[in-house]
Structures are given as C-alpha cells and as structure tokens.
Structure 1
Amino acid sequence: MHAAPRRHPVRFLPALIATATLLSACGTSGAAGSSKADEPTTKVTVTPAAGSKSVKLGSAISIRADGGKLTSVEVKDDQGTKVDGRLSAGGAAWASDGKVRPKTTYTVKTRAKSTGGKESAATSVFTTEAADKVNKLTNTPGGGQTVGTGMPVSILFDNPVAKDRQAGIEKALTVTTTPHVEGAWGWVKDYSGKDRIDWRPKDYWPSGTKVSVKGALAGIDSGDNGGWFARDYNFGFRIGADHKAVIDVPSHTLTMYENGKKVDSVVGSAGSPQDPTRGGVHTVRSKNAAETMDSSTIGHGNEWMLDSKWVTHLTASGTFLHSAPWNNKLGVANTSHGCFGMSTGDAKKVYDFLTIGSTVEVNGTSNPNKTDVGNGLEVWQESWQQWQQRSALK
C-alpha cells in the first residue's frame, strides 16, 4: 500500500512573487536615482596628449573638463618640480603659466567631479623634444647679495636674442620690490658684444629694499641663432647702505657720502687732458684687492705694466679707482689715462667704503662723450625718459 503524495499549500505564492517583484523594482529605482555606478565620469582632455614622445617646444600645457569640473590638478617634471598654472572659474579648464621645457617628461594628475557628483582620477605622461640649441643667462647681482643703491638688475644672455623675440622675453621677466619701487626693463648691447637686458629703478634704490626677480623663460625661443630657454630663473637681493662718491676733476678730489652726508674726502689724480676721465654717474661693477694695470687693455700698447692695489672697477673699458704710488702728482695735477689714482691708503678707504652697486659721479671732466650703457653697469648715463625707450614693450 502506497502512501498518498504530500501536497504543498500554494496560497502564499502570490505574496512571494509580489515581494520579489517589489525588490526588483526597488533595485532598478536605486540605479536610476541614487547609485552613481552607471553615471558617466567627467571627460578630461590633457594637451599635449598622453604618451607623446616628442612634444613640440613652445607648447603650453592645457586641461579641459567636459561633463563636470576639475577639482585638483598636479603637474610635475621629471625632476619633481611643480609646474604652476591657473584653474578657470568653475573648474572647466586649467592652463600652465609657461611653456614646456626641452627634453623633459611631464606627469599630469587630475581629479574631477561629474555634474552628477561622480568623482574620478587620471594620470597622463608625455615627453618633449630636445632643443638644437639652449640659451642660458647670467644674472647680476648674484642671488642673496647686498648691493649699493645704484645697482641695476642685469641679465646677460649666452646666445643672441632676436629682435622679434625681445618683447616675449621681457614679458616673462618680473621684478617685485618691498617697498614698491618704480622701474623698467631696457635692452642693452653688452661691452662683450652679447645681448643683455637690465632693469633700473627710476631713481636710486632706497636702502633696505628687498628685490625679487623671476624669469618664466622655460620653453621660450630666443630666435634661430639663440636657441630655447630650458629653465625658469628666480633670484633675489637686498639694497644696503647708501654709499656714494663724487669726483671733482678740477680740484683732484673724491668725496664720500653716506645717506647724503659727507663722511670723508681724499685727493688723487684723474685723467689727463689727452685721456680725460669719463663723466656722469657710474656704477661700481666689481672690485679687486690687487691687479696689474696693463696699458694694452685700453689701447696704449706696451707703455706700462704696473701693480696696483684696492682697485674699484667702474667701466668695462678700464675706468677704475685704484692706488697709484708711482704718480707724484696726486692732488696736484690730472695725469692719468682716465682712472682716478690715489695713495695706497686712500685707495683702500674708497675700496672699503664703496660696495658693488654704489655710484660714483664724475664732475668737471673735459670728456664730452657719454659712456655707453653696456660698458659696465652704466644705466645712470641716461635720463629716465631715455631709459624707457629701451624697452621692447614701449
């Protein structure tokens, strides 16, 4: 005898089916409303493109966000140096402040948020092409120096700078001072024949001024014969005590002033009528405790070779303040070949008093010629109006 088959109640099935349908409906509703799993992320476009191996020099780095906004951007070169840039209002785009450098690998890291709130992150890497020629510069004064109240900012380029590139380079250079001091850049042909750009204040610097110079030059082309700049520059210096000297040629005297007040005076011998000392305001460009005076360097052949001490250099062509123990006319007659010679003791006084960047004013000379600005740091040979005409942005 077989057992009767067991029957299962079925009255609960409609309720179970209804419950399953309800859960499914809730899941679908969540995907459409609160879950971001299926939402599109922000499309971030980096230019130059990721993976590029020879990005053209002169390019900027730009980033665009479509369907959302950029929340953070970090760009670094292969030395770990951060690349500065600007994020647009609303975060739709980012652009670098400067251009890419030669033969450099850049890593771009971005974070973005879509219009629906979905966050995403991405990394892009590219490398720039090499430069056929690189231009470098030498800045005066050196970073961290304390200099006199007449010192200009002077930037000497290794290679030529094409005329049509000067404006772009000048725009990339900034001078910031504390307190604020008015000044301007001017293009100069250095005594060496190289291109140079100087920044001079309208008037002499106030003592204690702090000066910061930045050159966002990386990735800028200086012309076919000059090449590309491979890096940015950043240096600063400070203006020290107000020390100046005034030479009165007819009376054979040099007077030293501190903050406009006379502190000492010495006698000497300026240039003879045949070789009169250069007039106007000169800037002390360098100093040397001992030096050999070689006549051939100023166009006098092999007339003399004399050892001198406490040499203060004014012009690149050889206008100096120095000891002249061989001269028996000190304080009596002007017999030098353009320098101002003194006793060894007095030359040291002057040497110690004047700093690099101090000014030396020469009055009463018979030399009618104005010294060229590039013949040393001769920015004070011109009026403020004349100087401003040297700017490529005038």
Structure 2
Amino acid sequence: MGSFVLTACSGGSGSADAGPEARISVTPADGKEVALGSPISVKADGGRLTGVEVKDDKGQKVTGQLAADGSSWTSDGKVGPKTTYTVRSTAKGGKNGKGKESSSTATFTTRQAPKVNKLTNQPGNGQTVGTGMPVSILFDHKVDQGKRAEIEKALKVTTEPKVEGAWGWVTDYSGQDRIDWRPKDPWPTGTKVSVNGNLTGIDSGEGGWFARNYDFGFTIGADRKAVIDVPAHALTMYENGKAVGTIKGSAGSPVDPTRGGIHTVRSKNADEVMDSATIGHGNEWMLASKWVTHLTASGTFLHSAPWNNSVGVENNSHGCFGMTTADAKKVYDFLLIGSTVEVKNTTSTKKTDVGNGLEVWQETWQQWQKRSAVK
C-alpha cells in the first residue's frame, strides 16, 4: 500500500524562525478498496507526532502505540473488512518537536471480505460457572493451520487472582474448529476472568476474515463437583473438597459402559426427550426425562429415569447415569455449568475426545499444552 502525505500549518508562530515543518504520512493510502490484513501507521518525517486519532465509520476509536521518539504511531490491530477509517494527526517539526505544527486528515475504505468469520464463546458474558469451566471459542468457518498462531496470539485471558493456563486447538463434535483455554488446575472460587480477542482484520484462511474484536468476562462460582463410582451405583457430591451427599443411580451396562475420566458439565435442561437415535440405537426408545445434566456432546448425561426399576441396584443404562426424579433434581441444582463430574471404576475403554463437549480435563496438562499453535 502507498502512503498518503499531507502537511498544513495550523498553529505555531507561522514565522521563518519557528523551525522546520514535519511531513505526516498515513498508511494505508487515502482512497477506496484498501486491501485487508495491514495495520494503520502514521509517520512524521522531520518531526514528532503530537496527536493521532483514528476512528472507524461507527465512531469506534482504534488504539495504537506511539514510538519512543515520537516519529511514528502504529495501530494495535489491523484494518477490518468493509470499513471506512478516518485518521487525524498532528506533528511538530524538528528532532525536538519544537518546529512548526502541521496536521493531516486521511480517509480510506477497506475491501469486503469474501466471508466473515464469527465466533461463539462459552461461558457467556457475565455468567457464573464452575471450577472446571474452560474458555471455549467456536468459529463459524474453518481456521487454516497456518493462521492459528496469529489468532491465538490475538486472544488474551486475564484473571484475578492470576491463574496459569494455556490455549489449545480442538475439533468440536460438530466438526467445526474451536480453541479452548483451560487453567492448569481447577479455578479458585471467586476468580474473575476477562477475555479479549483483538481479531479485527486477521485472516483465518479460505477467504475468511475477522471483522470485529471480542470482549467478555465471567466469574468462577462455588467449588462443586461430583464423583461417580460405577460398581457402587453411587454419585457423591463434593463442595470445597468435602462430601455433602451421596445419591444412588444406575450407570451404563457392561454393553454400553459410562465413559470414564473427568467430564465438564456443558449444559442443563429441565425437560428433555431421550431419543435412542441420537446415540446410535435407532428407534428403540423415545422417553421423557427431567433434570438433565449434559456431560459429553455424544450423549453422556445425568438424568431422571422413572422407567428404570433397578436404579441404584443394577448398571443397565446406555451410558448415562440415571436416578429417581427427586435425586436427579438434587444433582441438577447442585452442579453448575462448568462443574466437573469424574467417573471412576468403569469398564469403558473409550477415550473421550476433548471436542466431545467441554472435555479439557480428559488430558494431562502436558498433553493439553501440545495443542497450542504458538511454539
């Protein structure tokens, strides 16, 4: 891209002894249909910048950094698609910035993106979640392998108090690309989490571009979790590390054993129809259930099973943990979205993929770190 150069006296003494005049240049150039993928830069040739203001056509300010010597300014991010920017700058001439004052106004419009890549985030802004909840970002369009490091670097997680964690790239159960941030260990209760995605103008590959930045935050709630002991037909609830109640239930049968490991509660539904077709059992059943707590995306749930006369006696489900309706409500009310449920002593040998729900705790910290695109 070229540079737009404009100088005009708008202050100072206006006399010959006022010193040299700075020449201000703005990149991208003033004009139409500017290419995507570049930052905005302003330079003062022969002087120092005294002010830079950049706004888009919605009136939003674009932030940036001024060089230590005052000779240049560069935006924090890149230009977004199909956006008009106005850049207003002032500078004073001379190395010490004591010469004549000059000013410039430059306007340019960027090209339309072939397709805009948007994201859906979990948790939602302002939500209170359990101590096992990851930050999970699902992309509308495919993200090329070669673009992932730049996108990952543009995503920032800030916590109070400070918590160690890392981003990891995941293939969602839907087949879409996803990036999650999980803490090394479960969150401390009360942690405040802020997520900033400075994504505007970043190329995600295959014609996709990000058109906006993202900001959201959430709070970590009570330290609640559950542990299922499959042979004991029991689910024990823990708060702050102490057992607060045990519920009898029926886990998966020897043919369809409940998946093991540490799961994360991904969603909950007070009323739901259990459809056998969703877990590969054709049209065998269609049963109404209440107080359903979802673990995996493939159908591992905690739920009421009023049709089961062997609750707490026999493990005879198709992989879920079924309970009486009253007990299912206790579990439903106790666990938060983001709480963990550990399944122990199951005969299942299936490894649950991280993208099959919010299954970030199925991997060790060392395994998780390998999912980062930033080396």
1:349 partner SS? helix
Calculate the TM-score normalised by the size of structure 2: 0.94
Shift of 1:117: 2.9
Tell me the alpha carbon deviations over residues 26-57 of structure 1, each in whole angstroms, 9 at most, x when there is no partner: xxxxxxxx95423542101000112x101100
- The residue that corresponds to 1:107 in the other structure is 86
Q: Distance in 1 between matches of 2:276 and 2:185?
A: 35
Number of the residue aligned with 1:378? 359
Matches within 5 A, 1:303-342: 303-342=284-323
Secondary structure of 2:32 counterpart: coil
Letter in 2 for 1:132: P
Give yes or no for the alignment of 1:49 onto 2:35. Answer: no
What residue identity is the alignment partner of 1:131?
A
CA distance in 1, matches of 2:226, 2:246: 9
Q: CA RMSD in A?
A: 1.1
Whole-angstrom CA distance in 1 between matches of 2:13 and 2:68:
28
- In the alignment of these two chains, the number of paired residues is 359
| Alpha-carbon shift at residue 178 of structure 1 (Å) | 0.5
1:67 aligns with 2:49: no
Matches within 5 A, 1:248-259: 248-259=229-240
Shift of 1:324: 0.2
Q: State the Cα deviation string for residues 297-323 of structure 1 (Å, max 9, x = none).
A: 000011110000000000000000000
CA distance in 2: counterparts of 1:80 and 1:292, whole angstroms? 48
Q: Output the CA distance in 2 between the equivalents of 1:59 and 1:385.
A: 35
1:284 CA displacement: 0.2
Is the contact made by 2:13 and 2:100 (CA closer than 8 Å) also made in structure 1?
no
Select which of 94, 102, 109 maps to 1:127: 109
Structure number with larger C-alpha Rg: 1
Aligned to 1:174: 156
* One-letter code aligned to 1:308: S
Following superposition of structure 1 onto structure 2, how do residues 85-104 of structure 1 map, counting pairs within 5 Å?
Answer: 85-104=64-83
- Listed one character per residue, the Cα deviations across residues 341-388 of structure 1 (whole Å, up to 9, x for unaligned) are 000000000000001000000001000112000000000000000000
Partner of 1:241: 222
Deviations 1:136-158 (A, max 9, x none): 11001111100000000000001
Once the two structures are overlaid, the 10-residue window that deviates more, 114-123 or 315-324, is: 114-123
Asked whether the equivalents of residues 24 and 103 of structure 2 are also in contact (C-alpha less than 8 Å), the reply is: no
Q: CA deviation at 1:120?
A: 2.5
Q: Percent identity?
A: 73
- 1:13 aligned residue: none
Residue 253 of structure 2 is aligned to residue 272 of structure 1:
yes
Displacement of 1:293 after TM fit? 0.2
The alignment partner of 2:361 has SS state of helix
Partners of 1:178 and 1:264 in 2: how far apart?
31
Mapped pair 1:165 → 2:144: no
1:369 maps onto 2:344 in alignment:
no
User: Is residue 37 of structure 1 aligned with residue 15 of structure 2?
Assistant: yes
Distance (Å, rounded) in 2 between the aligned partners of 1:185 and 1:78: 33
Which residue number corresponds to residue 5 of structure 1? Answer: none
Matching residue's letter, 2:241: G
Shift of 1:132: 1.0
Distance 2:150 2:165 in 1: 18
Structure 1: 5+ residue stretches without partners: 1-33
Partner of 1:74, secondary structure, is: strand
Tell me, in whole angstroms, the C-alpha distance in 2 between the residues paired with 1:185 and 1:223.
20
More helix by share: 1
Matched ranges for 1:353-364 at <5 A? 353-364=334-345
Separation of aligned partners in 1, 2:62 and 2:195: 18
User: C-alpha separation between the residues in 1 aligned to 2:93 and 2:124?
Assistant: 49
Deviations 1:240-266 (A, max 9, x none): 010100000000000101100111111
Structure 1 residues 61-115: Cα deviation after superposition (integer angstroms, max 9, x where no partner): 0011011100111111000111111000021100011110001000111121112
Task: List alignment gaps of at least 5 residues for structure 2.
Answer: 1-11
2:205 corresponds to which letter in structure 1? G
The reply on whether 1:295 has 2:295 as its aligned counterpart is no
CA contact (8 A) 2:20 2:99 kept: no
Mean Cα deviation higher: 116-125 or 359-368: 116-125
1:154 to 129, 132, 136: 136
Per-residue CA distance 1:146-182 (angstroms, 9 max, x = gap)? 0000000000001101111111111111111000000
* DSSP-derived class of the 2:263 partner: strand
Secondary structure of 1:332 counterpart: coil
Classify the secondary structure of the residue corresponding to 1:44: strand
CA–CA distance in structure 2, aligned partners of residues 234 and 326 of structure 1: 45
Q: Is the 8 A contact 2:23 2:102 kept in 1?
A: no
TM-score, normalization by structure 1: 0.90
Q: Could you report, residue by residue, the CA deviation over 1:203-242 in whole angstroms, capped at 9, with x for unpaired residues?
A: 0000000111111111011111x51111111111110010
1:345 equivalent to 2:326? Answer yes
Distance 1:192 1:35, change over 3 A: closer
For 1:67, the aligned partner's letter is G
* Alignment partners' CA distance in 2, 1:283 and 1:268: 19
Using the alignment, how far apart are the partners of 2:103 and 2:215 within structure 1? 32
Q: Which amino acid aligns with 1:92?
A: S
